[in-house]
């Protein structure tokens, strides 16, 4: 039974309504990465009433995370990100089932875990994880909602959606990993992560135009965005 009071502002939108909210309640979404991008993605998906949300991240909260990872607090430094995130998110919406995976996605576990979900959201800066998500979602016929950030700019796209283009159709070469941390303006993950959450909700509700075969590029300094078609 849908909580009509909780989801009233969704239900009164003609394009969503009770049927659309029911779709959200039945949906299963895996978020790989509970950092800067993962924090807003998780909060908005859980608030929207996604029925089952998986959180995968092997890290613990560090002080340097707090500049942008808005799920966490000072007294949680040193604690598991996924367990801390789950506690906060369950307080936001106790009706949502939240599964935690306090380890990295790898060749051994990717297929079994991803198969349990309808959509996978990439919220990691690890290129090997992105390639693995791309491979498995393509094989299993799942949508892969991708986001990335660096300094003042971010990108969003959707791969493997209804047989559409994949990650490697756009990113042919994998960058050499750097040992240096990537700087990012603290508010940028909130902007890009919210866009990723929006794509997830559109896919579930089957409304709007999904960023399949398109790359949205956002420049925070210029307050400009552009969408580039690549297939």
State pLDDT tens for residues 166-213.
Answer: 999 998 766 655 555 689 999 999 999 999 999 999 999 999 999 999
pTM of the model: 0.95
**CATH number reported for the structural domain that contains residue 69 in this entry:** 3.40.50.720
- Quick check: is 68 in a domain? yes
- Quick check: is 1 in a domain? no
How many independent structural domains does the chain possess? 1
Phi, psi of 121 (to 5 degrees): -110, 120
Share of the chain above pLDDT 90, in %: 92
Share of the chain above pLDDT 70, in %: 96
Average pLDDT, the chain: 95
How far lies 78's CA from each of 32, 42, 116, 126, 149, in Å? 20, 20, 29, 21, 24
- Quick check: is 16 in a domain? yes
- Quick check: is 2 in a domain? no
**Taking residues 93-109, what's their average pLDDT?**
97
- In the structure, what pLDDT confidence band is assigned to residue 1 with cuts at 50, 70 and 90? confident
- Quick check: is 123 in a domain? yes
- Quick check: is 163 in a domain? yes
- Quick check: is 3 in a domain? no
The model's pLDDT over 32-91, given as tens digits with 9 standing for 90+, comes to 999 999 999 999 999 999 999 999 999 999 999 999 999 999 999 999 999 999 999 999
Q: Which domain holds residue 76?
A: 8-229
């Amino acid at each position: 039974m849908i909580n009509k009071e909780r989801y009233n502002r969704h239900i009164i939108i003609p394009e969503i309504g009770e049927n659309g909210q029911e779709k959200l309640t039945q949906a299963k979404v895996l978020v790989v990465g509970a950092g800067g991008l993962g924090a807003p993605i998780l909060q908005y998906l859980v608030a929207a009433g996604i029925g089952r949300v998986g959180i995968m991240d092997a890290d613990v909260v560090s002080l340097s995370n707090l500049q942008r990872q808005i799920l966490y607090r000072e007294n949680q430094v040193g604690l598991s990100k996924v367990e801390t995130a789950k506690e906060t998110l369950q307080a936001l919406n106790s009706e949502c089932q939240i599964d935690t995976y306090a380890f990295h996605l790898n060749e051994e576990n990717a297929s079994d875990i991803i198969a349990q979900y309808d959509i996978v959201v990439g919220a990691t800066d690890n290129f090997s994880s992105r390639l693995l998500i791309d491979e498995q979602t393509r094989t299993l016929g799942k949508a892969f909602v991708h986001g990335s950030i660096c300094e003042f700019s971010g990108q969003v796209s959707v791969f493997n959606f209804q047989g559409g283009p994949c990650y490697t159709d756009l990113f042919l070469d994998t960058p050499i990993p750097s040992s240096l941390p990537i700087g990012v303006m603290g508010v940028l993950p909130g902007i890009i992560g919210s866009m990723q959450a929006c794509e997830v909700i559109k896919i579930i509700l089957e409304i709007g135009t999904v960023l399949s075969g398109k790359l949205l590029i956002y420049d925070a300094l210029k307050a400009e965005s552009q969408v580039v078609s690549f297939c």
